[in-house]
Amino acid sequence: MIEQREAEPEVHEDEFQLSQSELEAIGRAIDDGDRTMLDKLLDDVHAADIADLIEQLAPQRRRKFLDLYSGEIDGEILSEIDESIREEVVEQLPREVLAEAVREMDSDDVVDLIEDLEAPERQVILEALDEPDRAAVEQSLTYPEYSAGRLMQSETVTAPEHWTVGEAIDFLRQEDWLPDQFYHVILVDPRQHPIGYVTLGKLLASRRHIPLREITEDSFRTISAREDEGDVAYAFNKYHLISAPVVDDHDRLVGVITIDDAMSVLDEEHEEDFLRMARVSDDSHVSDGPLETAKQRLPWLIINLFTASLSALVISRFEQTLAQLVILAALMPIVASTGGIAGTQSLAVAVRALATRELTSSNARRVILRELLAGLLNGLGLALILTLAGTFILGDIQIGLVLGMAMIANQIVAAMGGVLVPLGLGKLGLDPALASGTFVTTMTDMMGFFAFLGLASWILV
Amino acid sequence: MIEQREAEPEVHEDEFQLSQSELEAIGRAIDDGDRTMLDKLLDDVHAADIADLIEQLAPQRRRKFLDLYSGEIDGEILSEIDESIREEVVEQLPREVLAEAVREMDSDDVVDLIEDLEAPERQVILEALDEPDRAAVEQSLTYPEYSAGRLMQSETVTAPEHWTVGEAIDFLRQEDWLPDQFYHVILVDPRQHPIGYVTLGKLLASRRHIPLREITEDSFRTISAREDEGDVAYAFNKYHLISAPVVDDHDRLVGVITIDDAMSVLDEEHEEDFLRMARVSDDSHVSDGPLETAKQRLPWLIINLFTASLSALVISRFEQTLAQLVILAALMPIVASTGGIAGTQSLAVAVRALATRELTSSNARRVILRELLAGLLNGLGLALILTLAGTFILGDIQIGLVLGMAMIANQIVAAMGGVLVPLGLGKLGLDPALASGTFVTTMTDMMGFFAFLGLASWILV
Residue of A nearest to B304 (CA): A338
Overall domain count for chain A: 3
Which residues are within 8 A (CB) of B83 and not within 5 positions of it... i.e. 6 or more apart?
A: B116
CATH of the domain at B104: 1.25.60.10
Tell me whether residues B327 and A316 touch, CB distance under 8 A. yes
**What span, in angstroms and rounded, lies between the C-alpha atoms of A161 and A177?**
21
Three-state DSSP at A44 gives coil
**What span, in angstroms and rounded, lies between the C-alpha atoms of B344 and B441?**
8
Indicate the residue among A97, A112, A142 that finishes a domain: A142
The answer to whether residue B181 sits within a structural domain is yes
Chain A, chain B: beta-carbon pairs less than 8 Å apart: 428
Q: Which of B23, B146, B169 sits opposite A362 (nearest CB)?
A: B23
pLDDT beyond 80 at A427? yes
The answer to whether residue A285 sits within a structural domain is no
Q: Are residues A172 and A250 in the same domain?
A: yes
CATH of the domain at A204: 3.10.580.10
Residues of A with CB below 8 A from B448's CB? none
Q: Which candidate, B205, B48, B181, B184, places its Cα nearest to that of A217?
A: B181
With bands split at pLDDT 50, 70 and 90, how would you rate the model's confidence at A16? low
Minimum distance, in Å, between the CA of residue A19 and any CA atom of chain B = 10
Q: Which of A6, A280, A352 sits opposite B275 (nearest CB)?
A: A352
Minimum distance, in Å, between the CA of residue A326 and any CA atom of chain B = 6
What average pLDDT score do residues B364-392 get? Answer: 94
The answer to whether residue B442 sits within a structural domain is yes
Longest dimension (CA), chain A: 94
**What span, in angstroms and rounded, lies between the C-alpha atoms of B304 and A340?**
10
Q: Are residues A306 and A246 in the same domain?
A: no
Q: Are residues B36 and B91 in the same domain?
A: yes
CB atoms closer than 10 angstroms to residue A103: 14
pLDDT beyond 50 at A153? yes
With bands split at pLDDT 50, 70 and 90, how would you rate the model's confidence at B8? very low
**What span, in angstroms and rounded, lies between the C-alpha atoms of A185 and A156?**
8
CATH of the domain at B444: 1.10.357.20
The pLDDT of residue B285: 79
Q: Are residues B338 and B218 in the same domain?
A: no
The answer to whether residue B197 sits within a structural domain is yes
The answer to whether residue B261 sits within a structural domain is yes
Minimum distance, in Å, between the CA of residue A429 and any CA atom of chain B = 5
Tell me whether residues B263 and A299 touch, CB distance under 8 A. no
- The pLDDT > 70 percentage for chain B reads 97
Q: Are residues B162 and B300 in the same domain?
A: no
Lowest mean pLDDT among A82-86, B274-278, B282-286, B408-412: B282-286
Please report the ipTM that was assigned to this predicted complex. Answer: 0.89
What average pLDDT score do residues A16-31 get? Answer: 85
The pLDDT of residue B6: 40
Indicate the residue among A277, A298, A318 that finishes a domain: A277
The pLDDT of residue B43: 87
pLDDT beyond 50 at A437? yes
The answer to whether residue A151 sits within a structural domain is no
Indicate the residue among B255, B277, B299 that finishes a domain: B277
pLDDT beyond 50 at B434? yes
B24 vs A255, residue with greater confidence: A255
The answer to whether residue A319 sits within a structural domain is yes
Averaged confidence pLDDT in chain A:
90
Minimum distance, in Å, between the CA of residue A135 and any CA atom of chain B = 25
Tell me whether residues B9 and A234 touch, CB distance under 8 A. yes
Q: Are residues A405 and A379 in the same domain?
A: yes
Q: What DSSP line would sit under B368-394, residue for residue?
A: HHHHHHHHHHHHHHHHHHHHHHHHHTS
Q: To which H or E segment does residue B306 belong?
A: helix B290-316
**What span, in angstroms and rounded, lies between the C-alpha atoms of B188 and B159?**
6
pLDDT beyond 60 at A4? no
What average pLDDT score do residues B182-205 get? Answer: 94
Task: Give B73-122 pLDDT, tens digit per residue.
Answer: 999 999 999 888 888 898 888 888 888 999 988 888 999 998 888 888 88
Q: Are residues B268 and B294 in the same domain?
A: no
Task: Give B201-219 pLDDT, tens digit per residue.
Answer: 999 888 899 999 999 988 7
Q: Are residues B453 and B305 in the same domain?
A: yes
Mutation for testing the B interface, residue in A1, A8, A10, A384 having most B CBs under 10 Å: A10
pLDDT beyond 80 at B176? no
Q: Are residues B236 and B375 in the same domain?
A: no
The pLDDT of residue B177: 78
Tell me whether residues B301 and A382 touch, CB distance under 8 A. yes
A233 vs A85, residue with greater confidence: A233
Q: Are residues A316 and A454 in the same domain?
A: yes
The answer to whether B322 and B329 have CB atoms below 8 angstroms apart is yes
Minimum distance, in Å, between the CA of residue B386 and any CA atom of chain A = 9
The answer to whether B51 and B85 have CB atoms below 8 angstroms apart is no
The pLDDT of residue A7: 37
Write out the residue range of the structural domain in which residue A226 sits: 158-277
- The pLDDT > 90 percentage for chain B reads 66
- Report which listed range, A95-99, A189-193, B105-109, B115-119, is most confident: A189-193
The pLDDT of residue B16: 56
Degrees, nearest 5: CA angle A60-A63-A69: 140
**What span, in angstroms and rounded, lies between the C-alpha atoms of B320 and B322?**
5
CB atoms closer than 10 angstroms to residue A94: 11
pLDDT beyond 90 at A122? no
Q: Are residues B175 and B113 in the same domain?
A: no
Task: Give A200-242 pLDDT, tens digit per residue.
Answer: 999 988 889 999 999 998 878 899 999 999 999 999 999 989 9
B73: left (phi over 0), alpha (psi -120 to 50) or beta: beta
The answer to whether residue B341 sits within a structural domain is yes
Tell me whether residues B308 and A146 touch, CB distance under 8 A. no
Longest dimension (CA), chain B: 94
Q: Are residues B128 and B245 in the same domain?
A: no
pLDDT beyond 70 at A14? no
